[in-house]
Amino acid sequence: MLSATAHGQLRVITRDEGMLVLDGSDSVLFYRTAPHGENGISNCIHPLWALDGNVLTLDHPEDHPHHRGIFWAWRRIALGGKNVADSWVLDDFSYKVPEAGAERVEDGLGIRTVVHWFSPNVTDENGRQTPFVEEQVLITIHEKKGIFRVIDFSFALKALREGVTIAGYDNESELSGFSIRMKTPVDLVFNGKNGRLTPHWPAMKAGLRVDISGSLGRAGRQAGITIMSHPGNPPPHGLWNLRQKNSMQNVVFPGRKPFLLSTDRFIVLRYRLVIHKGDISAVPVDSLSDAF
């Protein structure tokens, strides 16, 4: 079954497996709502396309088969202090997307979904799995502005049972939260607000935005992605896992220390991507950051 929503040249085509965003005849991104692959991966974006049509993301790479384009996940999900699931590698964990739709926004289109988290370790009195976290997702795709396009992400999380916590790896990487498994050509260059960054292990302080540029376009042309974390997100702020090759780029939240999800209100996490041609020098990144 197909349905479509349009704003100018932007269109969202809804299919059984997910939602495809087009700009005219050019592909922008695909958000997956139906499980696929051995792990039943959904609630993620792949592919993400560069402005010239080259694919920027990887799905199920051999080195980390649980990586899936743009995703947000947590290594240790606990209920009442006991680990029950791992949405990072999808152990004892699955998503269901009972609601998904597209809507017009002021200068683009939005994808809005409701996502429920399930685990075989969280059941009712009859042994049936029941949702224990509700996630409300809003992905806003803005109209292209010359050499760049802005895509905004908002994830709102609320526990459906008391005592649900989320946390990352219990090591110095603290891997957790919003991540992009993008292609990593050998000439990737990383820049923060104050200049060049050198990726390293463990997690590093890099401020609220990082640009990653290199030969990501067609025929090796220069292109890049700027990742921004909203200053209103819960702490930690400015902690990143950045990788030169064979891994994802990650904005850490909440890290190794468990974060308690409320049953009364949604905790909102916001991120912005700027997909651009060339290197970052010609992109008004300061104003895009200030406006976020």
Q: How confident is the model at residue 2 (pLDDT cuts 50, 70, 90)?
A: low
Q: Is the pLDDT of residue 64 over 90?
A: no
pLDDT above 70 as % of the chain: 97
Q: How far apart are CA 31 and CA 17, in angstroms?
A: 9
212, 248 in Cβ contact below 8 A?
no
Confidence at residue 98, expressed as pLDDT on a 0 to 100 scale: 95
Average pLDDT for residues 281-286, to the nearest whole number? 92
> What is the CATH number assigned to the segment(s) 3-290?
2.70.98
Mean per-residue pLDDT over the chain, rounded:
94
Peptide bond into 236 cis (omega under 30): yes
Which residues, at least 6 apart from 75, have a Cβ–Cβ distance to it below 8 Å?
86, 88, 89, 167, 168, 169, 170, 175, 176
Using one digit for the tens of pLDDT, what is the confidence trace for 3-52?
A: 667 677 899 999 999 999 999 999 999 999 998 776 678 999 999 999 99
Task: Give the angle 31-36-39 at the CA atoms, nearest 5°.
Answer: 115
pLDDT digits (tens, 9 = 90+) for 196-237: 999 998 999 999 999 999 999 999 999 999 999 999 999 999
Rg of the chain in Å (alpha carbons): 18
**106-142 confidence digits (pLDDT tens):** 889 999 999 999 999 999 999 999 999 999 999 999 9
All structural domains of the chain with their residue ranges: 3-290
What is residue 6's predicted lDDT score, i.e. its pLDDT?
Answer: 66
